[in-house]
Amino acid sequence: MFRWARSWMIGLIFLGSNAFAGDYLLALNALGRTATTAELSAWDIDVRPDFTGLPVGAGSVEQGEVLWLDQCASCHGDFGDSNEVFSPIVLGNITENDIQTGRVAALTDPAVVRTTFMKVATLSTVWDYINRAMPWTAPKSLAVDEVYALVAYLLNLAYIVDEDFVLSDKNIRDVQALMPNRNGMTEDHGLWSVNGVPDVVGSACTTNCAVNTTVTSSLPDYAMNAHGNLRDQMRDYGPFPGVQTAPAAQRSESQSTPSDTLDQRPDDLLSVSGCTACHQMNKALVGPGFSAIRDRYAGQDAAIYLANKIKQGGQGVWGSMPMPAMTKLDDTVVETLALWLASGQLNK
């Protein structure tokens, strides 16, 4: 253990035979500096399972619902149950008995979709993650009380607390004691340490081994081209060229990427503005593809209409998933994007 630590010491002992050893150590230790108190509190934001690191604050289910619908529902669904963009956070399958025992029984059922609240044992995990990484396109923008409120709302969706509940640093340990899968984790395995004991080891047999060589699974024909033409994914000369999996009509001599239907693309702006969290160029994701928006409004002088849609959000034009109001974007950015969608041009 401490192999390198020792080698550094040996190095220093060796250097000790000349006059520069002290200089060397001193100079090396001059690299880096003490962190200030303000710097530590700015970055040391992690909240541990025993709630070390949890800031003082409070938030209600009611406040959480408002925040949720405004900032979270577009990806996670109104009730945290959407499977469109991320795996569901809450989707039933947690029982009174689970909350009693701390083990979610439905985890043994292969037919049940695993949700965050079915799996997670520690409430600190939920608080910490929302605080550090949410919302998706504007991480670390939530106030402490807003994080409490959002966690309270999720706890209510999972039927762990009532709808008039206010979560705070004072009562969060009581709620931890109700987490449905709080006893569902195990560290009894060999994969934490390099010296851990494996749970499964293979056979050393080399001759006439008793194995079943019946093929039990292979890809059906219709799935062979689901990842694109395999012919185009292998080096196309040499011993192992790719199998032609595309229907004859879709084969091309040279590999081509999907053509961009728009003349110019403000890729950086779309990414920085958070648009690409829900929209892609040529296909629907949560929202419609940019090319589909352009096709719909082509020749209609729709720049102002689209700018308002971006700023105010909407629902129903393209489906039931709401688009949140992009209130944090500068007007110039909104105008640039709207003009581009309406005309395909980045400049007037």
Partner 1 sequence: MPTHASHQEGRLRPAPESFLSDELISEVSQKGVDTQRRQLLRGAFAGALAGVSGLVIADDPNIIEVPEWSRSLGKAVATNPYGHPSIFEANNIRRQSPGLTQTDQASVAFTPLQNLFGCITPSGLHFERHHQGWVDIDPRRHRLMVNGLVKEPLVFTVEDLLRMPSVSRMHFLECGANTALEWGNSAVPTVQYTHGMLSGSEWTGVPLSLLLERAGYDQNANYLLAEGADGSGMTRTINLAEALEDAIVAYGQNGEMLRPEQGYPLRLVVPGVQGVSWVKWLRRLEVGNKPYATKDEASHYVDLMPNGQLRQYTAIQEAKSVITAPSAGQKLLSQGYYCITGLAWSGRGSVRKVEVSVDGGRNWQEARLEGQVSTKMLTRFNFDWVWRGEPALLQSRVHDDTGYIQPQRAALVAQRGTRSIYHNNAIQTWRVSPSGEVDNVQVG
**Positions 296 through 315 that interact with partner 1 (CB under 8 A):** none
What distance in Å separates the CA atoms of residue 25 and residue 347, rounded to the nearest whole number?
58
Binding mask 319-338 for partner 1 (x = CB under 8 A): --------------------
- Binding segment (CB under 8 A) for partner 1, from list 1-9, 300-308, 311-319, 336-344: 1-9
| Contacts (CB under 8 A) with partner 1, residues 72-111 | 84-86, 103-105, 107-108, 110
- H or E, element range at 167: strand 166-168
Tell whether residue 119 is a contact of partner 1 (CB under 8 A).
yes
Give the C-alpha separation, 334 to 126, whole Å. 33
Tracing tokens 């253990």 back to the chain, one arrives at: 1
Q: Which is nearer to partner 1, 19 or 31 (CB)?
A: 31
Which span (58-66, 167-175, 238-246, 311-319) binds partner 1, by CB under 8 A? 238-246
Indicate which single residue of 16, 22, 49, 314 sits in contact with partner 1 (rule: CB under 8 A). Answer: 49
Q: Which of 122, 156, 291, 343 binds partner 1 (CB under 8 A)?
A: 122
Quick one: which segment of 25-33, 56-64, 259-267, 293-301 binds partner 1 (CB under 8 A)? Answer: 25-33
CB nearer to partner 1: pick between 280 and 297: 280
Binding segment (CB under 8 A) for partner 1, from list 125-133, 302-310, 324-332, 338-346 = 125-133
Chain residues 205-234 in contact with partner 1, contact rule CB under 8 A: 205-209, 211-219, 223-224, 226-228, 230, 232-234
Alpha-carbon distance of 324 to 75, in angstroms, equals 10
Q: Which stretch binds partner 1 (CB under 8 A): 159-167, 242-250, 303-311, 322-330?
A: 242-250
For 171, what's the count of Cα atoms within 13 Å in the CB-facing half-sphere?
Answer: 13
- For residue 320, the one-letter residue type is S
Number of residues that bind partner 1 (CB under 8 A): 106
- Partners of residue 166 on adjacent β-strands: 60
The Cα 132–Cα 45 span in angstroms is 8
Q: Is 2 in the site for partner 1 (CB under 8 A)?
A: yes
Q: How far is the CB of 264 from partner 1 (least distance, A)?
A: 21
Instruction: Specify the DSSP element, H or E, that contains 155.
Output: helix 144-157
Q: Does residue 166 sit in helix, strand or coil? A: strand
Work out whether 268 is an interface residue with partner 1 (CB under 8 A).
no
Q: Which of 95, 101, 125, 261 binds partner 1 (CB under 8 A)?
A: 125
Q: CB–CB of 101/188 below 8 Å?
A: no
Position 16 contacts partner 1 (CB under 8 A)? no
Longest dimension (CA), the chain: 83
Least spacing, CB of residue 79 vs partner 1, in Å: 18
Write the CA distances from 45 to 50, 54, 326, integer angstroms.
14, 8, 27
> Any long-range contacts for 310-316 (C-beta under 8 Å, 24+ apart)?
310/334, 310/337, 310/338
User: DSSP state, 266?
Assistant: -
Buried b (16+ CB within 10 A) or exposed e, 31-52: eeeeeeeeeeeeeeeebeeebe
Q: Least CB distance from residue 305 to partner 1, whole Å? A: 27
What residue type is 312 in one-letter code? Q
Contacts of partner 1 in 141-180 (CB under 8 A): none
Q: Is 259 in the site for partner 1 (CB under 8 A)?
A: no
Cβ 299 to partner 1 shortest distance, Å: 30
Total residues belonging to the chain: 348
HSE (CB half, 13 Å, CA atoms) of 348? Answer: 6
Minimum gap (Å) between residue 298 Cβ and partner 1: 26
